[in-house]
Amino acid sequence: MSVSQLFDAAPAAEAEAPLSLTIRRPDDWHVHLRDGAMLKAVLPFTAAQFARGIIMPNLVPPVTTIAAAAAYRERILAARPEGCDFTPLMTCYLTDTTVPDEIERGYREGVWAAAKLYPAGATTNAHHGVTNIPKLAPVLERMEKIGMPVLVHGEATDPAVDIFDREAVFMEQEMLPLLKRHPGLKVVIEHVTTAETVAIVRAHAGRAAGTITPHHLIINRTTLFQGGLRPHLYCLPVAKRESHRLALCEAVTSGDTCFFIGTDTAPHLRGAKQAECCSAGVFGGATALQTYVQVFDEAGALDRFEAFASENGARFYGLPLNEGTITLERKPSRALAAVEVEDSEVVIFRGAENLPWSIGEVRP
């Protein structure tokens, strides 16, 4: 299937007053592409919307070495649709045994753009992650020295902590002390889900930033149970109360430069989602920009969308802005319900739903 066939436009008669918005091509600063058949199936959706993506390293086994990162990058490039210019930006999976010299060499050689810090056991394939963050100090000090960002999955892993409180507990017990110990370290707090974390990002703006997903902008914890348990909306961090969702919407539309796109698009096969023990992850790569721009439109903040989507992240990472453009059109569209992966499929977030915005022309 070609990229142009990924979306099925709704009938023109349903369209609202014509409006289009052309912005600099955006980037996705948090992407799970997986590997093998899954990679080939899901990559075209992200590449249809974004020029670059920060690629998460939690494969099996995780991407912990320069050689593994370079090889994974080549597999991603080989999986791109014909004519596609999507650029993967690789990351290193931090462990208790990560060596500072390897981190610095990989960063200086341009193999990876950042390193990902998963508290051990926090999410999908995070059991190889960091068990004691203060003991990672030599690695973080080296990253601080060379200007390499650390990307943090901010959730406590103590099973005694309520799942809805795990982000707040991690911020208090781990993130704030980390920011204090390493005042020059560039930190991205990934997939922010609470008003309190929004405030922490703002308080440390300049050296800290936050990514916010499209699904956390439109679902809350009640949504997970509307009409019954909805496993395809289950992710980590889990969606929170409506007050937190509203705080996220305010943050992204505020114009604050410390927030930018990170879809956390995370595909799992239907069988892994509709299972006795459901896998965590929402596959939103196909409907990300349509969802983000809808939030900005409803907030009357379309004039701030380009900065959030296309500028803030690149500037935080110290990368040049993209040269091309993408046009978003206020006319109904409908994404596929699911994408086939071998003999199974991955359900698409908001798939088969009439969306008020569509993806228009992309100019490299």
Where is the binding site for substrate, in residues? 32-34, 58, 153, 236, 268, 280
What the block records as the tokens of 71 is: 């090889």
251 vs 233: CA distance, rounded Å? 22
CB 260: neighbour CB atoms within 10 A? Answer: 28
CB 172: neighbour CB atoms within 10 A? Answer: 14
Please give the annotated binding residues for Zn(2+), written as ranges. 30, 32, 116, 153, 191, 264
The torsion angles phi and psi of 152, rounded to 5 degrees, stand at: -115, 125
Place of tokens 């994974």: 72
The torsion angles phi and psi of 240, rounded to 5 degrees, stand at: -110, -165
Please give the annotated binding residues, written as ranges. 30, 32-34, 58, 116, 153, 191, 236, 264, 268, 280
What the block records as the tokens of 255 is: 């114009």
List 27, 256, 264, 297, catalytic entry: 264
Residue 255 vs residues 109, 189, 205, 252, 322: alpha-carbon distances, Å: 34, 18, 13, 7, 19
Catalytic, 264? Answer: yes
In b/e form, how buried is each residue of 228-256, taking b as 16+ CB within 10 angstroms? eeebbbbbbbbbbeeebbebbbebbbbeb
Give bridge partners of residue 345 from the DSSP assignment.
340
Q: Strands, DSSP E only, in the chain? A: 7-9, 20-24, 27-31, 52-55, 87-89, 91-93, 114-117, 150-152, 187-189, 208-212, 259-261, 325-329, 333-335, 338-341, 344-347, 354-355, 358-363
What the block records as the tokens of 184 is: 């020059």
Given a contact cutoff of 8 angstroms between Cβ atoms, the answer to whether 297 and 330 are in contact is: yes
Residue 253 vs residues 267, 303, 339: alpha-carbon distances, Å: 27, 9, 31
Place of tokens 């436009």: 9
Q: Which residues are catalytic?
A: 264
